[in-house]
Every structure is written in C-alpha cells, then in structure tokens.
C-alpha cells in the first residue's frame, strides 16, 4: 500500500501517511518481446498485475517497470446526514396572465383536472440500445465486454470471474475440440477424465509444482453443516491428480508409451482483473499427458502436438 490510511480527510497530512515500506525493487528475467515495450506503455503480466514502463530496454539500460496498484474496496464513510431543503414555492399561473401564491390558492374538488396517462408519460421516451456505446480506441475494456454480451456470446453471472458461455461461443469451442481431437487421435492419443477434486495431502506432495497456483486454489471444507476431515481442493491443474494413478498403471516398459488427453474445466480463484475468455475463475480447457521411456520421445511428442 502506498499510504498507511485508506480514507483521506481534509485534515490529514499526506506526507505523513506515505508508507515507507511501499517501495520494493525486484529483478526479473523476461521474454524477448519486452524489448518492444515503450516508456509510458501499460502492460499486464499474467498473475502479476498491471505495470507501466518507466525506462525502455537499451544497450546499457535494463527495462524498468512500475507496478500499478489496484486500489482497495470502497468502505462506508460516516458522513453527517444532509437534509435536502424543499424547493421554494413557485407562483402558479392561472391562464389569464396573472399569478398567485400556491399557498393562497383554493381549488374545489369538483374543478380539479384529470391529466390522461398518455399525457403524463409523453416526455418519457423509451431508448433501445442495440449497438455499441463504447469505442475500441476510447474505452477498450468496455468495448470488449459489449462485443461479447451484445453478440450473445457471453453473459454475466452473480459470482465475479464466472461467466455464462452462450451457444454461439460454445459452438466455437466445439469446433476447436473437433479439430484438435481428430488430430491427436491420429497420434494415438486417447481421451479420459479424472475427478476434479484433489485431497490436500496430494497437493502437499507436489508443493513445488503448484507453488504458482497456491494462492488461487479453491477449497471445499464443508459438506452441509459438517466440516470435512480433510480439505479438498478444486482442480487448479491435473498433474497432482493424474500422476499418482499413472504410477500404479505403469509397472514396466511394456506399459509405455502412455498418451492421454482430458477435456475438462479448471478453477483458479483469480483476484485481479477478471476478463471474459482471458482471465476467469472457472474456464474450459484441454490438457495432454504422456509418458515415454526416453526423453527424446517425449520431446518429439511435445513438438508434434
């Protein structure tokens, strides 16, 4: 946090609220495309957040990125209650060019005029928004979500980061599945399905493998009103589920090679910037797993896939 206080009041001295521990420098190695990042450009690094370029990569200068804080949730502020004063009483026109004070005017019940409903609602025009209200250049994020929702590819869901994939978008996914599934079967790959639940003990054994996913693991801790004896993780990735079973299946070289593919869903409880089809908490995916006697065979398989 840049400041030690989340809500600033006019009486606060900003300089005294600066957090001295907010500055941290980290050295990292990136991919070659970081050479093209320009000063002032904002980029997003997967599972790390948003960064702005402070200095470009040069012959003698390293690329310098500054993390952009995402801010905190809004908190209720104890404001003094403000009562809205009533509008001053306006003179009422009588239709003869004269006006009179509303408080002094007496109207008998028999002379009151009934206004038809059609006249009352005349100034309320129904507005139908069929097109996009945002532009790609003006607000890319809003434009992107409008393209998906107005084209009926996707819809929002009450749980943040989870989305409804509508028939049009799922049709695209089915086409991808059909093409890829046909090609991998030509290689001798078979489809299978493993459970989506992972016991905590299995994750602990593969702690180093899932270290990057640890903060994003979703856990099941209760069944009804009863606490589970051991917490169960919802699949962030399938290595910890599959490989102990592979060890039972493979007893000698005669059981090799093993080529399996799985179509499933995965849950990673992302906390930063959920974006449809790009960064979501639950998503559809495909994963292939194979076992060979020689490393060269495995490398060849990976490149072929």
CATH code of the domain covering residue 266: 3.30.930.10
CA distance 217 to 40: 34
- Provide the domain count of the chain: 2
Contact between 87 and 96 (Cβ < 8 Å): no
Parent domain of 247 = 167-304
Contact between 272 and 49 (Cβ < 8 Å): yes
Q: Is residue 86 part of a domain?
A: no
Contact between 265 and 271 (Cβ < 8 Å): no
pTM for this prediction: 0.56
Q: What is the pLDDT of residue 98?
A: 52
Tens of pLDDT, residue by residue over 24-58, are 777 887 777 788 888 888 888 877 778 888 888 88
CA distance 146 to 148: 5
Q: Which residue has the higher pLDDT, 177 or 75?
A: 177
The alpha carbons of the chain give a radius of gyration, in whole angstroms, of: 31
Residue 177 pLDDT exceeds 70? yes
Last residue in a domain, options 51, 67, 83: 67
Percentage of residues in the chain with pLDDT exceeding 90?
Answer: 45
Q: Is residue 146 part of a domain?
A: no
Last residue in a domain, options 24, 40, 67: 67
First to last CA, the chain: 44
Q: Is residue 114 part of a domain?
A: no
Tens of pLDDT, residue by residue over 212-236, are 777 889 999 999 999 999 999 999 9
Residue in 250, 232, 254, 253 with CA at minimum distance from that of residue 241 = 232
Q: Is residue 92 part of a domain?
A: no
Residue owning tokens 């060849």: 300
Q: What is the pLDDT of residue 119?
A: 47
Query: Residue 253 gets which letter from DSSP?
Result: G
Q: Is residue 85 part of a domain?
A: no
299 & 182 share domain? yes
Q: What is the pLDDT of residue 110?
A: 43
Last residue in a domain, options 25, 44, 67: 67
Q: Which residue has the higher pLDDT, 151 or 111?
A: 151
Q: Is residue 269 part of a domain?
A: yes
- The least confident of 108-117, 123-132, 134-143, 284-293 is 108-117
Residue 257: asked if its preceding bond is cis (omega within 30°), the reply is yes
CA distance 195 to 220: 14
Whole-number average pLDDT of the chain: 81
Tens of pLDDT, residue by residue over 69-101, are 765 444 444 444 444 444 444 444 445 555 545
Tens of pLDDT, residue by residue over 256-275, are 999 999 999 999 998 778 89
175 & 295 share domain? yes
Q: Is residue 82 part of a domain?
A: no
Averaged pLDDT for residues 287-295: 95
Tens of pLDDT, residue by residue over 99-118, are 545 444 444 444 444 545 55
Q: Is residue 294 part of a domain?
A: yes
Q: What is the pLDDT of residue 48?
A: 78
Is the sign of the CA dihedral 213, 265, 285, 204 positive or negative? positive
284 & 173 share domain? yes
60 & 171 share domain? no
């Amino acid at each position: 946090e840049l400041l030690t206080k989340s809500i600033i009041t006019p009486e606060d001295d900003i300089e005294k609220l600066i957090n001295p521990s907010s500055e941290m420098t980290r050295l990292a190695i990136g991919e070659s495309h970081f050479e093209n990042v320009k000063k002032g450009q904002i980029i997003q690094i997967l599972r790390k957040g948003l960064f702005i370029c402070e200095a470009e990569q040069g012959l003698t200068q390293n690329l310098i990125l500054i993390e952009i804080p995402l801010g905190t949730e809004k908190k209720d502020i104890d404001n003094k209650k403000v009562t809205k004063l009533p509008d001053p009483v306006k003179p009422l026109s009588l239709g003869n060019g004269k006006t009179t004070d509303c408080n002094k005017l007496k109207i008998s019940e028999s002379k009151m005029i009934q206004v038809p409903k059609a006249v009352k609602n005349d100034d309320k025009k129904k507005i139908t928004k069929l097109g996009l209200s945002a532009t790609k250049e003006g607000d890319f994020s809003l434009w992107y979500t409008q393209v998906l929702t107005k084209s009926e590819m996707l819809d929002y869901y009450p749980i943040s980061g989870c989305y409804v994939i509508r028939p049009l978008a799922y049709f695209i996914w089915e086409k991808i599945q059909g093409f890829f599934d046909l090609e991998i079967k030509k290689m001798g790959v078979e489809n299978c399905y493993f459970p989506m639940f992972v016991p905590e003990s299995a994750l602990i054994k593969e702690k180093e493998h899932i270290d990057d996913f640890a903060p994003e693991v979703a856990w099941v801790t209760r069944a009804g009103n009863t606490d589970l004896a051991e917490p169960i993780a919802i699949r962030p990735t399938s290595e910890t589920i599959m490989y102990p079973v592979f060890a039972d299946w493979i007893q000698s070289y005669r059981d090799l090679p093993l080529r399996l593919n799985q179509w499933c869903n995965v849950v990673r409880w992302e906390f930063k910037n959920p974006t449809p089809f790009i960064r979501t908490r639950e998503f559809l995916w495909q994963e292939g797993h194979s076992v060979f006697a020689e490393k060269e065979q495995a490398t060849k398989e990976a490149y072929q896939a």
